[in-house]
Amino acid sequence: MIYLTDYQTASTTDTHMIEDISYPQRVHWFADTYARKDTGLVYAPHKLAEKVLNKTLLVDLKNRGGKTAFILAAGNQHFAGINPKDSEPNSLAYDYKMLPLTLTQVYAGRIAQACGAEDMVITDASACASSLKVMMNVHELFALYQFDRVIVLAVEDAVSNPVLKFFGESKAVLTKEQEEQGVLPSAFDQINFGFNIGQGAVFAVFENEKYAKNPHARLLGAYSASERSTNAIGQREDGEGFIKAAHGAMSISKISPRQINIIKTHGTGTKSNNTAERNALKTLFDHRFVATSYKQRIGHTMGASGLLETCLLLDNIKDCLITPIKNRTQRDSVFISDPLHIFGPQKILSLAAGMGNIYSAAIFDTQL
Amino acid sequence: MTEQELIVLINEIVLLATPLNSNMVDIQSLDDNLADTGLDSLDMLMVGIYLGDVYGVSEDDLKAIQATTVRQLFEYMCQHKTKEPKTIKEALESIQ
């Protein structure tokens, strides 16, 4: 048994319009992660990570004992060698004086040390699927390598010049111009669509039955897959990648589609994801499913999004109220447009997709 | 600044520069050996750069730091300083 015993999340529904960049856009961000940036002494992704790194918990983890691994799911962010400037110096640009400390593996090693994970350190860069993709690693470490504990930190400072420029240029995010035309972020809807970028992080601790105390949920299984594709940043309309990932996760979890109570979609709300994910869910579940999405509320937190949104869903389940897909104008029986009251334990299917042709799925159960 | 103030300053800088490890560090004396403070080499790199900012020490000079004790660290900063804060508050304001 793999239990999710602790988690801390950081995300925000607050938004801020960033004007002084090549593609002005609204973002969900913590302004304090960029405070003191001009000193050259702070690195925004680290400041974001610190929001979920509770010192008391880190010390406690260090003292728990057991064979422990640490995984840093860093999404698209190759921390090292970044050039945080846009075409011109702007409100997000900064020079960090300690580049060696931005190396992804170095940072992972430091956090692993702080939480006593002395048996394995892993980093992952599976783009926006990163934090769900590593659920497969978590499962393997317990099932094949007899780890007692796996700690996951998923963080990506999506509100950075390189990310905003890339997504603005490729018209993947909602621009200021679209916002002025009245478009609101939503998913699986005929009128509203798309997302804004958001900062987010999640710190999660998975433990076996020997160490788990007061767990929140069980991780039943996870799987990642690719699809037959001619374009590494595209998605097949039939949702093959999502289907393969979900099939794999259900198979390893020994769960049938009918046993899934609720689905956390990748739900970016882009035209291509709406089509691919909707078709995948139709193939997997016919029309017998209930699904939501969180990106319209907190932004697309990129590499952190899959696990972070799963933890938000776990919070919703504790509150017996599932958050609907924001700004959705349609009403149907499958995608939630209004708050949904639920009762009792739930089996969750979480989905994520990442550029580079990676699809991930994980199944959690709140029945302990 | 007095020796006592320098001890307060170095502990404050440790807190700022290494927020995750700082609770294991408590520098009591300027003669404390840096290797015994609980700071690892990367922590020391960060503390050195923060301190260099406080004293306006160039990056080239920072790369050449050789210090065994906290006192030697401050002495090196003083030898290569381009500014010197008068109070702890003034020192921290420049890096906060």
Query: What are the domain boundaries of chain B?
Result: 3-93
DSSP B82: S
Question: Is A36–B19 a contact, with Cβ atoms under 8 angstroms apart?
Answer: no
User: Hey, are the CB atoms on A98 and B53 less than 8 Å from each other?
Assistant: no
Distance in angstroms (rounded) separating the CA atoms of residues B28 and A312: 43
**Cα of A97 to nearest chain B Cα, Å:** 8
Minimal CA–CA distance to A200: which of A5, A329, A13? A13
A43 and A119 share a domain? yes
CA gap A107, A157 in Å, rounded? 14
Helix (H, G, I), strand (E, B) or coil at A365: strand
A61 and A151 in contact (C-beta within 8 Å)? yes
Same domain for A246 and A192: no
- Region at A127 (left for phi over 0; alpha for psi -120 to 50; beta for the rest): left
A97 touches chain B (CB under 8 A): yes
**Contact call for A50 and B20, based on CB within 8 A:** yes
Distance, in angstroms, between A359 CA and closest chain B CA?
33
Chain A nearest C-alpha distance from B44 (Å): 12
In DSSP terms, which residues pair with A25 in a beta bridge? A18
Please tell me the distance from the alpha carbon of residue A169 to that of residue A122, in angstroms, as a whole number.
32
Q: Is there a single domain that holds both residue A295 and residue A244?
A: yes
> How distant is the Cα of B72 from the closest Cα of chain A, in angstroms?
22
Last residue within a domain, chosen from A202, A217, A232? A217
**Residues A76 and A193 grouped into a single domain:** yes
For A67, the domain range is: 3-217
Which tops the pLDDT comparison, A249 or B54?
A249
Q: Please tell me the predicted confidence (pLDDT) of residue B88.
A: 87
> What's the CATH code of the domain at A123?
3.40.47.10
Is residue A357 domain-shared with residue A208, that is, in the same domain? no
B23 CB neighbours in chain A (<8 A) are 55, 59
Tokens (6 digits) for A28:
């969900």
Give the total number of structural domains in chain A. Answer: 2
Pair of tokens at residue A216: 């929140």
Which class does domain B3-93 fall in? mainly alpha
User: Do residues A178 and A288 both lie within one domain?
Assistant: no
Between B19, B49, B96, which is nearest A97 by CB? Answer: B49
Q: How far off is chain B from A71, nearest CA to CA, in Å?
A: 17
Residues A175, A110: one domain? Answer: yes
Question: A277 and A206 in one domain?
Answer: no
Average pLDDT on B41-50 reads 87
Distance CA A190, CA A330 (A): 7
Nearest CA in chain B to A101: B42
Whether residues A339 and A206 share a domain: the answer is no
- Give me the tens of pLDDT residue by residue for chain A, a chain 368 residues long: 999 999 999 999 999 999 998 899 999 999 999 988 888 888 899 999 999 999 899 999 999 999 999 999 987 765 444 545 556 678 888 888 887 788 888 899 999 999 999 999 999 999 999 999 999 999 999 999 999 999 999 998 888 888 888 888 888 899 888 889 999 999 999 999 999 999 999 999 999 999 999 999 999 999 999 999 878 788 999 999 999 999 999 999 999 999 999 999 999 999 999 999 999 999 999 989 999 999 999 999 999 999 999 999 999 999 999 999 999 999 999 999 999 999 999 999 999 999 989 999 999 999 99
Rg (CA), chain A: 19
Domain boundary pick from A191, A217, A243? A217
B23 has a chain A CB within 8 A of its CB: yes
In a shared domain, residues A164 and A250:
no
Residue of chain B with shortest Cα separation from A35? B96
CA-wise closest residue to A163 among A360, A23, A268: A23
pLDDT at residue B59 in the model: 85
> B20 vs A110: CB contact, 8 Å cut-off?
yes
Q: Chain A neighbours among B 24-63 (CB < 8 Å)?
A: 40, 42, 45-46, 49-50, 53, 59
Closest C-alpha among A358, A21, A351, A314 to residue A166: A21
A39 and B CB contact within 8 Å: yes
What does the pLDDT read at residue A80? 41
- Give the nearest partner residue to A114 out of B16, B21, B49, using CB atoms: B21
Of B20, B40, B59, the CB nearest to A53: B20
Contacts of A210 (CB under 8 A, 6+ apart): A66, A148
What pLDDT shows up at residue A84?
57
pTM: 0.92
pLDDT confidence of residue A77: 62
CA B60 to chain CA centroid, Å, is: 17
Residue A186 shares a structural domain with residue A294: no
Contact A101 B21 (CB under 8 A): no
pLDDT digits (tens, 9 = 90+) for B74-90: 999 999 999 888 888 88
**3-class secondary structure, A363:** strand
Beta bridge partners of A70: A121, A151
Domain identity same for A128 and A11? yes
Tell me if B23 and A59 make a contact (CB, 8 A cut-off).
Answer: yes
- The amino acid sitting at A166 is F
Tell which residue, A220, A227, A242, has the closest CA to residue A291.
Answer: A242
Report residue A243: phi and psi, to 5°. -65, -45
State which of A199, A217, A235 marks the end of a domain. A217
